[in-house]
Chain A
Amino acid sequence: MGYYGANLKNLLNKELAYICRLLAQGFTYPNGENCSDSFFSAVEQVARALDISCKKVSFPLSELREAYTLLFINEPNGQWAPPFSSVYLGTQGMLMDTGRDEAIKFYKKAGLEPVKTEEPEDFLATELHFLAELVDSGQRELLSSFLSAHLLKWYPHFYARLKALEPHPYYLLLAEITSKFLNTLNQEVIDETT
């Protein structure tokens, strides 16, 4: 146990939490902070760290706002990717379904509650923030089960849907980073515990 614990200590470090929060911010509606040169630069560096090739990331706020709206809020042709687990995990394709209930159960287990936000609790950004909390607090088992029993049960469906839409390159990049990051993190957790 000591051995795994030692590795885990290395694994759950602040950089990983930073990345979780970076991605969470990335999937939040574009504002001044998540649409700045420093933010884009951090996204680039994380992409490179994950061996994802990317050109220089820099987009105007207005462009990202329109792209975000059409991808994650409302799109006139229905060609969007809802960033909510309930849409993918429930049988009804509706919001506030089992995906949201599952997420809340994990939050409760961690003794946490999202502060009041406009989105349902199973919003992708909220779940990524939660991941950061687990990383920060070193709750390995909960992290492992949150990834394998929840987040990675729906994220691949979301990612596939997003990719099929041929979305704005920025959100495609963010989604690819997130996909690789979550899968690698999950694999690492499995490796550490076996």
Chain B
Amino acid sequence: MKRRNFLKLSASACAALAALELKDKTIFKAAYAKTAATSPQLPGSLGAKEIPSVCEMCFWRCPIVGKVKDKKLVKIEGNPKSPANGPRVCARGNSGVQLLYDPDRIKYPLKRTGERGEGKWARISWDEALDEVAHNLKEVKKKYGPHALAYFDHGASAEFMRDIFKTLGSENYTNEPAFYQCVGPAALAYLKTYGYITTGTRQYVDMQNAKAMLLVGTHIGENVHVSHVREFIQGLQNGAKLVVVDPRFSAAAAKADIYLPIRPGTDTALLLAWMNFIITENLYDKDFVQKHCSGFDELKKAVKKYTLQWASPICDLPVEDMKKAILLLAKNSPHVSIHPGRHSTWYGRGDTSRHQALAILAALFGAVGVKGGLYFPTPVKKGHVSFGCAEEEPETPSKSISEDYYPFASTFGSPTSKIIEATRTANPYPIKLWGINGVNIIQTIPNPYQTMEAIKNLDFIFCEEILPTETAIWSDIVLPGATYLERYDSVYTYDLLTPYLTVRQPVVEPMFETKSSFWIARELAKRIGLKCFNYNNEIEFIEEELKGAGLTLKGLNKKGGIVAYEPNPYRSSKDFKVATESGKVQLSIEDFADEDLDPIPRFVPTPAPPKGYVRLVYGRSPVHTFSRTMNNKWLHNEVPENPLWVNDELAKQVGIKDGDEVVLENQDGYRSWPIKVKVTPGIRPDTAYMVHGFGSRSKALSKAYKQGVSDQFMITEYEDDPFMGASSHRTNFIRLVKAGKVINLPELCPPPKEIPRFSAKKTKTGGK
């Protein structure tokens, strides 16, 4: 082709182009040295600049080092100076690179242009996005009052924006799914028993020095937090005995000396019977109980009726096995790790009591403040920072959706179920605006169908998001958040067995127009007219925090970004004291009694599956976090979907084979997408299991969409924990549909008369 054929620009065309003054639009400058291109490049991460920071692929927050070359993150490793994880990170920690560079990311502020839930957007400027959010916050407050504003949040970075909702006066300024969908009941039980949150973000249990360990439903190894797993493995390496109670043969169960495949929903029965057994057999630590506990006589009396013989048919466990297990634990006391658990929102009723029972069991063994037992945090000093936001709690409305329903809910905020109900029904008051930050509420809160209905009632909904999740799809304004690798947060302190102080700091510049959570909150506050966030940037308040620890950011970075401290986890009998009201470990909790709740756990059965159904339970994959990581290509490549575990005997009876594809139908007629079956003896016949977090409904998540099945979309029935309002997640039942034919599942482990059967609502056919 010759040039004359190629370009036939007329004189007027040339003039038109010239008139655009495009030359001035150049975006290049002379800068790179020409020789740089020829200088030898070291392979991989060799020669990379190393920047210490803190991981957020899960919320254990391991110290990491980001390796950066040419302004690009090439590798993530554990911070070798970290006394907790050292140079190790888990698969997710490694894969932060993929989160940072995921093309699916939310890149610019977006405004909804289509119907709500349709996800049609146009990019807008930060000014326009923030002005719109600020305007709606003010308008809704003016029209309906402060409590019409609700905020769902997760993670430390979401706390900045939380201050805005609090300052605006809403009682619904913190509705963390982390509590109401996860650790709330356990945290409350331990807080009231021991005076500190023995299990919350962290679990203060000394497995590495234990002589025996008890896990009830906890599946360490599949649920991975690096230093926690290491301590568990170290304990086993040291010869610790292990008892695992779980309806599923988990990774931890495979390491157990005694495995008890308990009937789901009956754990408290087992724990109560064990308590009674060690009291009646004089296997408890009398000295510890006498000196450091209150309420023992009441406890003794309350648990007297719970014998191993009583528990056996309820738990579907042989008396001998239960006995062997408790004797094994008793023999090794006080150096026993009664693991407090973490995710505890299982059955609604009885969740707080189950964890209270675990807490009491540890106390009866004297397994508190000693090697191998529960231990005390070692506070790491840092400077106090005040952002100048509302210091006082907002005024409670005449009818609170928090404490007027659940007496201990306000410890953690407002229950998510009540927020959604009030949004749907305007009872006890209307909620008209949601802000969401750091959590995909559609895949986190039970009955997403109700959540989506509630969203339709809102005047306005916005979120700060990293990926185009279902929540983003439903939002009116989407604010693009920077990942943990692109932003500062706060100083992090770790108060477990290897205390340290470190700081999250950016390893690379934020991609596109993404911004840090602090920047977003500060800019928003300015537009609302709130006198909040009296620091110009994160570095200013980080320096303030570090000052309190005698450090500077530069100084900390010179030390490798982390400073370690001596732990103080144990207490002699003389020094033992706890921060409860009585100053003693509370085996009976008066605060509960004052609210007409059980001061001592009792067995309240959770209904058994209706005929033809099995209970649906769920757990974790070692390479995924909640529903947050399924779009991460490296992790997706490792575990792309979640098979449904079905008992082999059950499968045989209904002609289901390993690898078969089925659809799930729950007790309310809701159907899932197809899922592969894993036929295994490692699950009870009355239970089916899948890993949580799969089956994304957001087509904008190119790797996660329609991969596997969402357990959340099968959870339409839930009840709230009466203590703090957390929502149950294991109160739903499924049957199978294969090739369009509904398969009713035979009952191979019929429940005893003490356990009522769930009465299914009128079953819909055809699914939803």
A residues sitting closer than 8 Å to B (CB atoms) are 7, 10-11, 14-19, 21-22, 24-25, 29, 33, 38-39, 41-42, 45-46, 48-50, 62, 65-66, 68-70, 73-79, 82, 84, 86-87, 92-97, 100-101, 104-105, 107-109, 111-115, 117-120, 126, 129-130, 132-133, 136, 184-185, 187-188, 191
Contact = CB atoms under 8 A, between A and B. Distances in A.
B81 to A, nearest CB: 27
B26 interface: yes
A115 B19 CA distance: 24
B739 interface: no
Nearest to A94: B101
Contacts of A78: 104, 699-702, 705
A126 to B, nearest CB: 6
8 contacts: A21-B26, A45-B9, A74-B106, A76-B120, A76-B468, A78-B701, A113-B31, A188-B6
A112 B701 contact: no
A22 B17 contact: yes
B16 interface: yes
Contact of A69 (B27, B37, B121): B121
B690 to A, nearest CB: 24
A7 B3 CA distance: 9
A77 B70 contact: no
A82 B103 contact: yes
B571 interface: no
Main SS at interface, chain A:
helix
Contacts of A46: 9, 13, 17
A128 B32 CA distance: 19
Contacts of B468: 74, 76
B6 A75 contact: no
B20 interface: yes
B17 A117 contact: no
B9 A120 contact: no
Contacts of B14: 15, 18
Interface string B8-41: 1110111011111011011111111110110000
Contact of B72 (A24, A49, A93, A96): A96
A105 B27 CA distance: 17
Contacts of A11: 3
A105 B72 contact: no
B400 interface: no
A68 B453 CA distance: 30
A138 to B, nearest CB: 15
Given A42-B13, A120-B511, A10 B121 contact: no
Contact of B30 (A84, A111, A117, A191): A111
Contact of A101 (B25, B70, B513): B70
A87 B513 contact: no
Among B6, B8, B18, B102, residue most surrounded by chain A Cβ atoms (within 10 Å): B6
Closest A-B pairs by Cβ, 5 of them? A76-B119, A113-B31, A45-B13, A21-B22, A18-B17
A114 B700 CA distance: 30
B120 A66 contact: yes
Contacts of A22: 17, 20, 22
B595 interface: no
Given A10-B3, A66-B113, A78-B701, A15 B17 contact: yes
